[in-house]
Amino acid sequence: MFEFLSNAVSPFADKLRTNYVPSDEEIAHLRDFLVGPTEQLAKIQAQIDEMELVVGQLKAKRESLQIDIDAHKALISPMRHIPDDVLRAIFFACLPTAHNALIDIAEAPLLLGRICRRWRVVAYSTPMLWTSIHIAPLRSCGERGMADFLPQLQPVIEQWLERGAPCPLTVSLVEKDSFLWSDPEFYPISLLRNFFHRLYHLSLCGNIRLLLPLLRLGPESLPMLKSIDIYNSTNKRYPFGIEHPEALNLVQIPSLTGISLQVMVDPVSLPLNWSQLTHLDLRCFPPSKNSGLDGAGALELLRRCPNLVRCLLRLYRDLDDASLASNTSLITLPHLGTLILIGDFHLPQWIPHLVVPRLRCLQIGNLKHKDLEWFGASVPHCVTAAIDTTPFTESGLLNLLQAFPQISHLRLLPHRFHPAVLPNDALLLRLSSHDLCPNLTHLYIKTKCVSLSDALALAFIRARMASPTPLQLFEAEVPRPMEIDVKAALEPFISAGLEVSFTYSPPSVRQHDEERHFNARVGVNWFTA
């Protein structure tokens, strides 16, 4: 039975929450009956309002007190008492490492000046925080037409570079090709003109015509410049150094020890100070259809650079045996630690010509970033190698591995389909011998054919585990179902620390297409073979 708070029993209790329609007499009775409960409700609401007022006042007192407590606690905060030199070390750790610092208030170093007055003073008075900067295109074309951010950002960039004085500067600058109308004497010269003498590393990307004011500079303007990166995104229209020969001024500065070029040019013809280069990265586009860096040209470049520490070359053609026969002298690179050769080519002819006692990282072929987990890793006293097996014959790959017996971390994987794609059982059987790659401890194999069997993989691992330098890791990806449970057979070794991973998968549709297209090129009927 329904009851009001007054404990009065409603005479209409059985009519409540129904569709009953009261008469006029019952309506009058209802109104008289509700007078008491309505007054009681008003009293309760008044009490609630009074309590809410008290609660509101208490909350306000609590907030005020909390603010005072937090302000006092801030005085004893450990961060407040960190010495400036430790604070600077923390600031350095906040800087990006994969790229130059961005002009972004949400990232260091600009963010560091927005926390508090002390942080701002320390950040602005620490030149090393402001020694790198990435200057993105300051003009863009959107739905509302051309937008020019230079007037707003130029003071910010100038203040940034001034805070870094007198430290050397690392600057990367990008200019879009769509703004050929801009005055080349105004941008980017206007941003860097007062800081040329401090430029240490300079990276330029964009149309050569827009970058000419910087490319024309000589050693008198850039006395500290040590390395230069140039990427010409419009190489087909404005070949580097051909239409504008003065663009070569920058790469001839005597102080340069590092050069990276992705432009349209014959790299062999570049007037560089080759003998003093320690870092060389040439991914130059061929100026004509039948040109481009070949194996003989690459050997010539290596011969010119005896002090190289790191070298990356993009090859477009195989080594010319005739050119090789004309010069059989050894190429000794006593300091070379990293060698990267990109492209589809055959390498065995190079082996007798290279002497690289300090090589630690070797990469050959067209490999993706995900395939280079070990490449460039900091593994003391180890040599890592990632090899695209597509252009190699079995004997050629064996010759390559024999030429680098110090390899400890090896990745073998094809870039594309080939009927004789490596690695296969024969190669794995040869690798089972400790005479080949005696220091091998880590092996990753990926193949696009089914000629790599579980039985040979198992035999290889057992043979290597019995060698003086036992295997530590073996990974394989094969396009077929499992034949043998290799991991179960190797349980004693796995318990002792050996890492083993096998990935089985059926050939993809794309792989079938690649195989069909290859067979079509060589005259094989895919459907009847």
More confident position, 103 or 319: 103
Task: Establish whether domains 131-292 and 360-529 are of one fold.
Answer: yes
pLDDT of residue 171: 96
**Which amino acid does the sequence have at 331?**
I
Instruction: Give the chain's mean pLDDT.
Output: 82
Closest Cα partner for 87 from 128, 49, 34, 57?
Answer: 128
202 vs 11, 277, 360, CA distance in Å?
A: 93, 16, 27
Report the alpha-carbon distance of residue 220 to residue 272 in Å, rounded.
17
> Which of the given ranges, 183-197, 331-345, 446-460, has the highest pLDDT on average?
331-345
Lowest mean pLDDT of 178-187, 319-328, 359-368, 423-432, name the range. Answer: 178-187
Closest Cα partner for 400 from 413, 385, 415, 414?
Answer: 385
CB neighbours of 28 closer than 8 A, spacing ≥ 6? Answer: none
Buried b (16+ CB within 10 A) or exposed e, 415-449: bebbeebbbbeebbebbbeeeebebbbbbbbbbbb
Q: Which residues pair with residue 385 across a beta bridge?
A: 362, 410
CB neighbours of 437 closer than 8 A, spacing ≥ 6? Answer: 401, 404, 405, 407, 410, 431
Residue 458 has pLDDT above 70, yes or no: yes
Q: Could you tell me the pLDDT band of residue 520, with boundaries at 50, 70 and 90?
A: very low
Q: Could you tell me the pLDDT band of residue 2, with boundaries at 50, 70 and 90?
A: very low
CATH code for the domain defined by 360-529: 3.80.10
Q: Could you tell me the pLDDT band of residue 174, with boundaries at 50, 70 and 90?
A: confident
Mean pLDDT of 357-369: 85
Residue 291 has pLDDT above 90, yes or no: no
CB neighbours of 163 closer than 8 A, spacing ≥ 6? Answer: 124, 127, 129, 130
pLDDT of residue 402: 87
The SS3 of residue 53 is helix
Report the alpha-carbon distance of residue 429 to residue 426 in Å, rounded.
5
pLDDT of residue 254: 92
Strand 354-355 and strand 331-332: the pairing is parallel
pLDDT of residue 351: 64
pLDDT of residue 321: 52
Mean pLDDT of 250-279: 92
pLDDT in tens, 68-122: 999 888 888 888 889 999 999 999 999 999 999 999 999 999 999 999 899 999 9
Q: Which residues pair with residue 332 across a beta bridge?
A: 355
pLDDT in tens, 14-54: 888 899 999 999 899 989 889 988 999 999 999 999 999 99
pLDDT of residue 220: 92
pLDDT of residue 505: 79
CB neighbours of 303 closer than 8 A, spacing ≥ 6? Answer: 329, 331
pLDDT in tens, 199-232: 999 999 887 777 888 888 889 999 999 999 998 8
pLDDT in tens, 335-352: 999 999 888 666 556 666
> From start to end of 365-508, where are the E strands?
384-388, 409-413, 442-446, 473-478, 499-504
pLDDT in tens, 479-495: 888 888 888 999 999 99
178 vs 152, 206, 239, CA distance in Å?
A: 20, 10, 17
H/E run at residue 342: strand 338-342
Burial of 511 (0-12, 13-18, 19+ CB in 10 A): middle
Mean pLDDT of 225-251: 75
Helix, strand, coil proportions of the chain in percent (round to 5)?
Answer: 40, 15, 45
Report the alpha-carbon distance of residue 259 to residue 251 in Å, rounded.
7
Q: What are phi and psi of 339, to 5 degrees?
A: -130, 120
Report the alpha-carbon distance of residue 363 to residue 382 in Å, rounded.
14
Whole-prediction pTM: 0.77
Percent of the chain, pLDDT > 70? 79
pLDDT in tens, 274-287: 999 999 999 988 87
Residue 522 has pLDDT above 90, yes or no: no
Q: In this structure, what token pair is assigned to residue 259?
A: 């050069």
CB 452 within 8 A of CB 478: yes
Domain residue spans of the chain: 22-76, 131-292, 360-529
Strand 310-314 and strand 279-282: the pairing is parallel
pLDDT of residue 166: 94
Mean pLDDT of 411-415: 83
Q: What are phi and psi of 67, to 5 degrees?
A: -60, -45
CB 152 within 8 A of CB 159: no
Continuous H helices in 290-392: 295-304, 321-325
Q: What class, spelled out in words, does domain 131-292 have in CATH? A: alpha beta
Mean pLDDT of 130-159: 78
Q: Could you tell me the pLDDT band of residue 478, with boundaries at 50, 70 and 90?
A: confident
Report the alpha-carbon distance of residue 260 to residue 117 in Å, rounded.
41
Closest Cα partner for 287 from 318, 266, 316, 272?
Answer: 266
Lowest mean pLDDT of 147-161, 347-361, 454-468, name the range. Answer: 347-361
